Amino acid sequence: MIDDALGAAPSEPLKLVLYIAGQTPKSLAAIANLERICAETEPGKYVVEVIDLKKDPKLAREHNIVAIPTLVRQLPVPIRKIIGDLSDREKVLVHLKVGAE
């Protein structure tokens, strides 16, 4: 159903959340890599929110985050989580597409 809806409306952006914990090299690398991926794909496909868990550790529990950095695709279900600094662009794209098309 959701897949169909998404298929019918490709302009609907995918919501991505990137969880980091402070300005660590790995977090900064993940932010940079994600920005590059978004810039290289069609604009408006992804909406990215960055959450620093150092500032609000409660969210780590609520969103069940263990590894840092974690990129979460909430929709469409199932939830996908990518952990790591997102240094492999192709792999990131593949994983973001899984179940979304």
Partner 1 sequence: MTGRDTLMGEAKGISKSLTGIEGFDDLTLGGLPTGRPSLVCGSAGCGKTLFASTFLLNGAREFDEAGVFVTFEERPVDIVSNVASLGFEMDRLIDEDRIVIEHIAVDPAELAEIGEYDLEGLFLRLELAIDQVGAKRIVLDTIESLFSAFTNPAILRAEIRRLFDWLKDKGMTTVITAERGDGSLTRQGLEEYVSDCVILLDHRVHNQISTRRLRIVKYRGTAHGTNEYPFLIDQDGFSVLPVSSLGLNHKVHEDRISSGVPDLDIMLTGGGFHRGTSVLLSGVAGSGKSSLSACFADAACRAGEKALYFSFEESAAQTVRNMRSIGVDLQQWLDKGTLRHIAARPTFYSLEMHLAVMLREVLRFKPTLVVLDPISAFVGNAERQEVQSMLLRMVDFLKSHGITGVFTHLTHSQEGNVETDAGLSSLMDAWILLLNREVNGEFNRELYLLKARGTSHSNQVREFIMSNDGIKLISPYLGEAGALTGSARKAEEGRARRAEIARRTEVQRLAEAIDVRRRKAKAEIEALQAVLDADDNEMRRMQADEETYLAQAATDREDMEKSRRA
Rounded to a whole number of angstroms, the minimum distance from the CB of residue 50 to partner 1 is 14
CB distance 69 to 18 below 8 Å: yes
Which parts of this chain interact with partner 1 (CB under 8 A)?
A: 19, 21-22, 24, 26, 29-30, 33, 53-54, 57-58, 60-61, 64-70, 78-88, 91-92, 95
CB-wise, 10 or 101, nearer to partner 1? 101
Other CB atoms within 10 Å distance of the CB of residue 6:
16
Q: Can you name the residues that pair with 18 across neighbouring β-strands? A: 50, 71
Rounded to a whole number of angstroms, the minimum distance from the CB of residue 75 to partner 1 is 13
In angstroms, the CA 87 to CA 3 distance is: 28
Rounded to a whole number of angstroms, the minimum distance from the CB of residue 11 to partner 1 is 26
CB-wise, 44 or 98, nearer to partner 1? 98
